[in-house]
Amino acid sequence: MKVGVLALQGAFKLHAEALERLGVEALEVRSVEDFNSSEALIIPGGESTTMSFLLESSGIFESLQERSIAGMPILGTCAGMILLSSKIADGRSDQKPLNLIDIEVRRNGYGRQINSFESDLFIEGFESSFRGVFIRAPLVEDVSEKVEVIAELNGRPVMCRQDSTIVTSFHPELADDDRIHAEFLEMASNS
């Protein structure tokens, strides 16, 4: 299976390295052609405003919306979560969410860099805790009943799934722990 990692900006290399450790070919996606050769996609952390603008100028935005509605497996971390959400608070007024998971997020909802943190998370189906690294992370303010909450922190969802889309407000690619990537690949190979 060829898994694309959106490489317009952000921590895409770390995701690609995680995929390669799990024995999967990672493809850096910068154009519609790259995207069309990917069977699943990871949208990494980075600046969501920058990525929004590059998604449109590269033409990937529309193809992404079409294919994900058709069931393409997608993992979005941090900025990826913001882009995939259905509603963005404190974003830029022209920032268009992809609307692929029915959650409302607040950009930098956990605060600025000085409030960025690490914390142990208890993720459904994992035998031991997972170290969540939250960098200027988005806060999930609301989820619809279509969305399954997989992990919470202080009563707020930090990892959610709807159909074949998984999002995290933290950075599994920074954690030196590939369990979330493995889970995503398993979902992708079953779909």
Partner 1 sequence: MEELNHDTGTRLVKRGLAEMLKGGVIMDVVDAEQAKIAEDAGATAVMALERVPADIRRDGGVARMSDPEMIEDIKKSVTVPVMAKARIGHFAEAQVLQSIGVDYIDESEVLTPADEAHHIDKWKFEAPFVCGATNLGEALRRISEGACLIRSKGEAGTGNIVEAVRHLRSIFGDIGRISQADSAELFDWAKRLQAPLPLVQEVSETGELPVPLFCAGGIATPADASLVMQLGAQAVFVGSGIFKSEDPAPRARAIVEATTNYLDPSILAKVSRKLGEPMTGIEMDSIETRLAERGW
Closest CA to 119 of 104, 105, 129: 129
Verify binding: residue 179, partner 1, rule CB under 8 A.
Answer: no
Long-range contacts of residues 152-161, Cβ cutoff 8 Å, at least 24 apart: 153/119, 153/121, 157/103, 158/121, 158/132, 158/134, 159/121, 159/123, 160/101, 160/103, 161/101
DSSP secondary structure code for residue 110 in this structure: T
For residue 184, the minimal CB distance to partner 1 (Å) is 19
Is there a catalytic annotation at residue 15?
Answer: no
Which residues, 22 to 61, sit near partner 1 by CB under 8 A? 30, 45-47, 49-50, 53-54, 57
Interface with partner 1 (CB under 8 A), residue from 3, 5, 14, 103: 14
Is there a catalytic annotation at residue 173?
Answer: yes
Footprint of partner 1 (CB under 8 A): 7-14, 30, 45-47, 49-50, 53-54, 57, 78-79, 90-92, 107-108, 112-122, 133-136, 153, 171, 174
